[in-house]
């Protein structure tokens, strides 16, 4: 049980870090709104937590909420993350983007987490054959 909790927390942290790295890359270098970061971070969190699809999705959703919180901190700190995503729009657009991010970060992360959990389960079943009776 203790080991599963450590794996769950590790999945959340790694998923959040992947979201953060993809977000910085897509916003600051490619100047896109960060849509792929939550999905890829969710897949990674799901692969790590992947005991079953529900636990994988739960870990990915928590990582997505942390990612949305990171966007909120960026909004409050007024750093370059949101300014690069919405460059020509006023500050209200940054606030609007945060409101939208609160919903799409966890949803995309959950979808990615369930997908990662299914991939992880499938990989484990292929690698570890069941014992025949």
Domain boundaries, the chain: 2-126
Residues of the chain predicted below pLDDT 50:
none
Per-residue pLDDT at 128: 67
Cα(76)–Cα(55) distance, rounded to whole angstroms? 32
Dihedral angle of Cα 24, 27, 29, 30, to the nearest 10 degrees: 140
Per-residue burial over 2-11, b = 16 or more CB atoms within 10 Å of its CB, e = otherwise: eeeeebbeeb
User: Is residue 19 a contact partner of residue 105, using CB atoms and an 8 Å limit?
Assistant: yes
| pLDDT for position 51 | 76
Alpha helices in 36-79 (DSSP H): 36-49, 53-77
Task: Tell me what pLDDT residue 14 has.
Answer: 93
Predicted pLDDT at 13: 92
The confidence score (pLDDT) of residue 91 equals: 61
Residue 29 dihedral angles phi and psi, to the nearest 5°? -95, -50
Q: How many Å is the Cα radius of gyration of the chain?
A: 17
Q: What's residue 71's pLDDT?
A: 73
By CB neighbour count within 10 A (0-12 exposed, 13-18 middle, 19+ buried), where does 95 fall?
A: middle
pTM higher than 0.85, yes or no? no
């Amino acid at each position: 049980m203790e080991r599963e909790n450590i794996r769950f927390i590790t999945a959340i942290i790694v998923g959040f870090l992947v979201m953060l790295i993809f977000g910085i890359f897509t916003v600051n270098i490619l100047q896109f709104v960060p849509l792929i970061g939550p999905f890829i971070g969710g897949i990674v969190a799901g692969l790590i937590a992947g005991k079953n699809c529900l636990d994988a999705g739960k870990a990915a959703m928590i990582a997505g909420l942390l990612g949305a919180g990171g966007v909120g901190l960026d909004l409050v700190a007024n750093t370059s993350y949101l300014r690069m995503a919405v460059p020509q729009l006023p500050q209200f657009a940054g606030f609007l983007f945060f409101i939208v991010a609160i919903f799409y970060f966890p949803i995309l992360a959950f979808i990615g987490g369930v997908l990662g959990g299914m991939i992880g389960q499938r990989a484990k079943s292929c690698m570890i054959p069941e014992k025949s009776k």
